Structure 1
């Protein structure tokens, strides 16, 4: 739990400072967030407080689990881990919703890039005048 707490806190602090490099593993990794460095920075700044909070929850849960014995320690660890995951998810969801409007609009007309393997490609293509 302490290792997970350290990762969550470090990710949150780096995200808050705008220093977390764009990557597909740590931080908010939705398609919208990974679209550009700016989107990634914005998304992770938004999610940073919940990441740090989840890290502190994991750290506190680890301390309590160390003091508790037997099944109580396991139960505390599981409950705290579940709460931390939901906390991280809430922050990631808020961040994803915030950067979604920053994506460029989808192309209008035709099938976009899907026509390459489409069996009804002729139907999707714009009509040509002869």
Structure 2
């Protein structure tokens, strides 16, 4: 079977332009704050998925980078169409790798920004304390039974499960 070389640039460019369109849409929606929290598009990590506000902040931070990655892909697609032949695949792949690097980098910045947003449940932890320095008596008043019940949520043997809250979802994902 012989592959028509004139079709390669078109196929490679369509793939590149499809990713550019997707990252452009996500970048614009993220910048405007209109990207709803979902499982498919946007910056998705434990820190960003814990609240709508954290998801919005992460995607606003990552939005300009996503638009930059889309720009890289658009240029790559144009060059891919202009070059032709087997080199078109090289330019398309290089453009995709560069864009994915940018997306990964700005996503990390988004996750870092989202981790600074207080979670909805950080107002008070039912483990040993209320996370309030002014309430050390609350920590002393927790009974051993309460500690064991709350610690069992994360599989720990003593209270402190509140500090391990994020580990529970990661352990089940690794299994």
Counterpart contact for 1:39–1:99, Cα < 8 Å: yes
Give the Cα separation in 1 of the matches to 2:101 and 2:69: 9
Q: Which protein, 1 or 2, shows the higher relative CO under an 8 Å CA cutoff with sep ≥ 6?
A: 1
Alignment partner of 1:113 out of 153, 161, 170: 153
Counterpart contact for 1:57–1:80, Cα < 8 Å: yes
Counterpart contact for 1:55–1:84, Cα < 8 Å: yes
- Kindly report structure 1 stretches of 4+ aligned residues shifted beyond 3 Å: 103-110
**1:102 deviation in Å?**
2.4
Give the Cα separation in 2 of the matches to 1:124 and 1:90: 38
Q: CA RMSD in A?
A: 2.2
Deviations 1:65-117 (A, max 9, x none): 011121211110111100000000010000101111324457556535124xx
Aligned length: 120
> TM-score under structure 2 normalisation?
0.62
Corresponding position of 1:86: 101
Structure 2, gaps ≥5 residues long: 1-15, 129-146, 160-175
Give the secondary structure class of the aligned counterpart of 1:102: coil
Structure 1, gaps ≥5 residues long: 116-120, 126-130
Give the secondary structure class of the aligned counterpart of 2:38: coil
Counterpart contact for 1:32–1:103, Cα < 8 Å: no
Corresponding position of 2:22: 7
Larger radius of gyration: 2
> TM-score under structure 1 normalisation?
0.83
